């Protein structure tokens, strides 16, 4: 295979990591909403944890994006 084509395919494959980030962010916000509707008075206290979980889950997907960029621009 042409190395340039393989590089592009590899970068595209590395972007699949964003699937996991999408599932993770959906789970976090979905479960937060579920908990918040069951016990609305406890919801504001957990808002900081919600944002922390969101940022941590999003970062995992972005690690995949970093790998894609490394494949594209470093090699």
Partner 1 sequence: MPNPMHQFEIKRLIDFEFLGLDASFTNASLFMVLAIASISFMTIWGMRGRALVPTRMQSLAELSYEFVANMVRDNVGTDGQKYFPIVFSLFMFVLFCNMLGMLPYSFTVTSHIIVTFALAALVFIGVTLIGFATHGFGFFKFFVPSGVPVALLPLLVVIEVISYLTRPVSLSVRLFANMMAGHTMLKVFGAFVVGLGFIGGWAPLAFMVAFTGLEILVAFLQAYVFAILTCIYLNDALHMHH
Residues that bind partner 1 (CB under 8 A): 48, 51-52, 54-56, 58-59, 62-63, 65-66, 69, 73
User: How crowded is residue 69: how many other Cβ atoms within 10 Å of its Cβ?
Assistant: 13
Q: CA 62: distance to chain centroid?
A: 6
Q: How far is the CB of 65 from partner 1 (least distance, A)?
A: 5
Residues 6+ apart with CB under 8 A from 25: 54, 57, 58
Q: How far is the CB of 64 from partner 1 (least distance, A)?
A: 9
CB nearer partner 1, residue 43 or residue 60: 60
């Amino acid at each position: 295979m042409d190395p340039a084509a393989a590089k592009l395919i590899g970068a595209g494959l590395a972007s699949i990591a964003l699937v996991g980030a999408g599932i993770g962010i959906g789970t976090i916000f979905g479960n937060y909403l579920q908990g918040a509707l069951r016990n609305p008075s406890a919801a504001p206290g957990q808002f900081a944890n919600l944002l922390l979980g969101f940022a941590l889950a999003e970062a995992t997907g972005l690690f995949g994006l970093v790998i894609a960029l490394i494949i594209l621009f470093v090699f």
